[in-house]
Structure 1
């Protein structure tokens, strides 16, 4: 991957949907997500969190502004190129796991490797190693319906990481888990972040967001403020909506 400082950069990004009349989902959002950082996104329902994730994940394109993923302007790519970028540079973890029911845990983890020009044996070794790292060495040949919710989320995390992406996006990753299992999964997120993975997590839960280095608070399609949780960062923890790009 290119050696850029930011995994993701949004510059004056707006997104408008037309449903009889215009709906302004995002309005002039600028945000830098440094490589290796851990960012949480919070805000009321309908404030633009899902739209922001879709743009960062190259599942949608902005109405105006620029979204760069690992130094590449996503808006300037064709649909096929964006698909390949998603497959190679972005990992996804969903609240509902989104595992293929007829594939084993190992086969589910290997799916994103279809975008990689890597020998089959190496792909399998990588997938197996990640399942071992998330504590599922003895579940590689189990199907999703044979796994608990926490185990399925661990498979989803391993799948998100299998291509060593520039960024991992997680949408309410602990929403379907009990308290004990949630803590185990969030501990895994923290472990991978400490190893250098760039994480962006959308959550409604304050205790989940507090695992991050900073919390980006959205309101009415704009960044209301950025709350910094990393004690080593001496910069001001809040930024109002009119102060320009967020570092």
Structure 2
């Protein structure tokens, strides 16, 4: 089980898909994501990044092993319980933003709290505060198609934070942005991380991953190695997956 200082814990997790021959999307992954940490996940296509994201995001359950999110073992929960856990403990930021096109920025940010039965006044007030934090207080009444890509991603980040989740998952969050806008979004990630938000970011881009405290490199469903970064984003120390297991992260 996760400790009080752990947002997410995976222990010897396997995810096998049976389409003809069994495909081991994840093959014995153990990883701890401490509260307040910033972790990047990198690896080639088919390495298991999306599967790992789906398990941590409570969108799927492991074939073997345990995934603990916010102190709850995801594999022991029914669909409704996982949906509740996902809504309260996980915030999502997607490459394609995934905003509701008929809702304005304020309503999009507030939407997750509607499903938590938070009263309208409270959820809109919190949404306004978050829009102000991401620099979009003056765009609250704009629809997504009236916003730039960078502004839409800011709305998505604010929405991810509305329920004060245990962890924010970001899947290629700067993939659809130009260089300048990407830098602005990544600066916001840094700002929220500095304020205590736990971040797990999947990316193909080295310069995006280097914003994190560490980079977990996946290959063929296993943790190949974990790269610890210093404050400049340069490589500090690196550990093979098996050695990392002694510190709560391995591929054995």
**TM-score band, normalised by shorter chain:** over 0.9
2: CA distance between counterparts of 1:3 and 1:114?
30
Partner SS, residue 211 of structure 2: coil
Q: Give the length in aligned residue pairs.
A: 243
Does 2:198 correspond to 1:198? yes
Residue 93 of structure 1 contacts residue 171 of structure 1 at CA under 8 Å; is this kept in 2?
yes
**Equivalent position of 1:32 in the other structure:** 32
Moved more, 38-47 or 106-115: 106-115
Aligned to 2:23: 23
**Which residue of structure 1 aligns with residue 208 of structure 2?**
208
Matched with 1:163 is 163
Q: What stretches of structure 2 of length at least 5 have no aligned partner?
A: none
Alignment of 1:122 onto 2:125? no
Q: Aligned residue for 1:131?
A: 131
Cα distance in 1 between the residues matched to 2:198 and 2:205: 20
CA drift of 1:231 comes to 5.2
TM-score between both structures, scaled by the size of structure 2? 0.93
For 2:226 and 2:87, the matched residues in 1 are separated by 29
The CA distance in 1 between the partners of 2:239 and 2:84, in whole Å, is 35
Query: Separation in 1 of the partners of 2:213 and 2:238?
Result: 13
Residue matched to 1:185: 185
CA distance in 2 between counterparts of 1:208 and 1:129 reads 27
User: Hey, what does 1:174 align to over in structure 2?
Assistant: 174
Alignment RMSD, CA only? 1.6
Partner of 2:96: 96
Q: Distance in 2 between matches of 1:190 and 1:18?
A: 40
Q: Which SS does the other structure have where 2:138 is aligned?
A: coil
Task: Measure the CA separation in 1 of the matches of 2:103 and 2:119.
Answer: 20
**In 1, distance between residues paired with 2:105 and 2:199?**
22
Q: Secondary structure at the match of 2:140?
A: coil
1:106 match: 106
2:106 counterpart SS class: helix
Hey, which bits of structure 1, 4+ residues long, moved more than 4 A? none
